[in-house]
Structure 1
Amino acid sequence: MALRDAPGSPVVDVHTHVVPKGWPDLDAMCGGSGWPWLRVDSERDAMIMVGETEFRPIGAACWDPATREADMTADGVDVQVISPTPVFFSYERPTGQAVKVARIFNDKVLELAAAGGDRFVPFCQVPLQDPDAACAELDRCLAAGHAGVEIGNHVGDRDLDDAGIVTFLQHCAAMEAPVFVHPWDMPGGPRLDRWMARWLTGMPAETHLSALSMILGGVFDRVSRSLRICFAHGGGSLPFWLGRADNAWHRRGDLVRGDSAAPPSSYVDRFSVDSVVFSPPALRLLVDTLGVDRVMLGSDYPYPLGERPAGAVVRRADFLTETQRDQILSGNALRFLGKPRI
């Protein structure tokens, strides 16, 4: 199928992850130690290990196109954007090592996408700690068949208004490559290591902070409006607290305004978010705050904190018109992706 703007356009899920099988020993291939590796427990089950520590159990949906396609069909999803799993970003590594890892996984993702025919749109990863290397890897991947890039929301203490990261974002705009921002590397500690609290509270806070950094750091005032960028998980807590940010911008401009030329809410037409917020009232907040044209279907498939069936909340939200529902399920993603031929 070809992505198209027309009645019956394909339902597109912009937020899914993969973990390919068959990658080499990263310690031997890239140097260093403590790399992720895959402990295969059965034909359909595995464990992502980081050194000797269990990181996450995964199943065949992470690497098997047939499993993914069956789930997509059951959920009424025609096309998935398939992106890396953030544990492989390697931003803390030396650039040379991170480049090698990015190349290995980017090529594996292309293989997986090819096995799925026209139902998968591959996004690459880049060594974001080095803007020149990141731009070079993006160019290589776009030439090879990737449609866009997934990045983490920060590199150590450098947020998305860091000069080097802005250089990369400007290059994405110039190359017309869509950018998907995913939170990762959340702080831990006794209060956050219970109940998956880093995922339940840390991820929304990380996304909120990084979107705000682009606004108050003046990134949207400097980068071309052609930049297409989407924040995962409904933009985290930012949509709920956008009014608080505006209030602070007006009342404590001496501390809050930073390099921004206008209040935070003035920039809601510069980025998109996905729909994986799990309840109609939360989805309504996104639509009311950001506009229906800035929300796209996302599920976080195949991980257990994602939405199944994908798009269930969008489909049952009775406040949406059919036109608005189609925008969220299809049209907005087509615009974000630039309607690639797949």
Structure 2
Amino acid sequence: MTGPLTDVHAHLWPEDYLALLEEHHRPVSGARAMNATDRPSHLAARIAELNTAGIDRQLVSAAAQMPDFPQATAAAHAARLANDRCAQAVARHPDRLGFLAVLPLPHLDEAITEARHALGVLGAHGVALTWQTGDRQITEHRFDPLFAHLADQGTTVLLHPGGTLPAPPSTPESLRWTAGALAEQTFGLLRWLATERPRRFPRLTAVIARAGGAACLLPPSLLPQPLPPQVRFDSHTQGNHAALRYAADTYGADRIDLGTDHPFARGPDLVAAVNAYRRLAPSPSPAPRTLP
């Protein structure tokens, strides 16, 4: 594979943002332990990992540590802080990093305002959303004005699990993010298609994280044939490279972009994820669309 390789699914959690989440009683110890903040030493280590893995550019976001506070003002402040700090991190390594903005959902007006700021002022490459925000699904029609605004800008949206799928009380947290996220991405994609987002917002590109979950295993009758061109997938399959190959055979390798879930994939796992993606197709992962 030749040409620049862009990782569209990676995480960066600014230190100020994690501190703010903690003030609001959000659990952040796991994110802190990943050493994936905007601290200069963490950014330098990230760039070194990209070099080793052969990744030319990485699009980071603060997902799935989302600024979805119940109070609109607090949510808007948190989203602005996360995006400003991500933009500052990108400015330190502009040739290697870009970012996807997080939005203060479920607060619609504030989310549109922040999208306008992040895309138009900060230069975000798109936005990262989770399927659920508070007790709302983002596929509800009440969020259509946000998607209309994003579509007007020709925005790319990374649709990421939020760890919200119900599970029995005794389910270990690790399974909520392995089996649970797989199911969440599957149902999310089906809802995205059932609510006709691609038809109603044709200039909005959706990248479904984690290769669309288990959707590629469903009966073909449950998915439109062919899938709308505005629906893409990232290549993160939690190290199951056979699953990635099957997803590529089902959807078409040309609609799968490199996604590593870094820093959850590091060292040899990061290299293996890139190599598995490179084996899919002879062309590089395109960077998500930016504003004109």
Q: Note the alpha carbon deviations across 1:148-181, whole angstroms, 9 max, x for none.
A: 1111112234323211322211211101221111
Q: Does 1:270 align with 2:230?
A: yes
Q: Does 1:14 align with 2:8?
A: yes
AA matched with 1:314 = Y
User: 2 CA distance for matches of 1:298 and 1:279?
Assistant: 13
User: 1 CA distance for matches of 2:110 and 2:52?
Assistant: 40
Report which of the two structures shows the higher radius of gyration computed on alpha carbons.
1
User: 2 CA distance for matches of 1:167 and 1:240?
Assistant: 32
Q: Identity across aligned pairs (percent)?
A: 25
User: 2 CA distance for matches of 1:152 and 1:214?
Assistant: 12
Within the candidate set 64, 82, 102, 1:86 is matched to 64
CA gap of 1:270–1:98, structure 2 versus 1, over 3 A, is same
Q: Does 1:238 align with 2:195?
A: no
TM-score by length of 1: 0.75
Within the candidate set 37, 58, 70, 2:33 is matched to 58
Residue pair 2:11, 2:36 contacting (<8 A) in 1 also: no
- Greater relative CO (CA pairs within 8 A, separation 6+): 2
Number of the residue aligned with 1:35: 25
User: 1 CA distance for matches of 2:73 and 2:14?
Assistant: 22
Within the candidate set 256, 276, 280, 1:295 is matched to 256
TM-score by length of 2: 0.87
Unmatched 5+ stretches in structure 1: 1-6, 37-48, 248-262
Task: Identify the range of structure 1 (56-65 vs 120-129) with the bigger mean alpha-carbon deviation.
Answer: 56-65
Number of the residue aligned with 1:103: 80
Quote the offset at 1:185 in angstroms: 3.3
Residue pair 1:192, 1:198 contacting (<8 A) in 2 also: no
Number of the residue aligned with 1:209: 187
AA matched with 1:168 = L
The 5 A counterparts of 1:75-154 are: 75-87=53-65, 89-142=66-119, 143-154=121-132
RMSD: 2.7
Residue pair 2:7, 2:260 contacting (<8 A) in 1 also: yes
User: 1 CA distance for matches of 2:122 and 2:227?
Assistant: 33
Number of the residue aligned with 1:257: none
Quote the offset at 1:141 in angstroms: 0.9
Residue pair 2:2, 2:282 contacting (<8 A) in 1 also: no
Unmatched 5+ stretches in structure 2: none
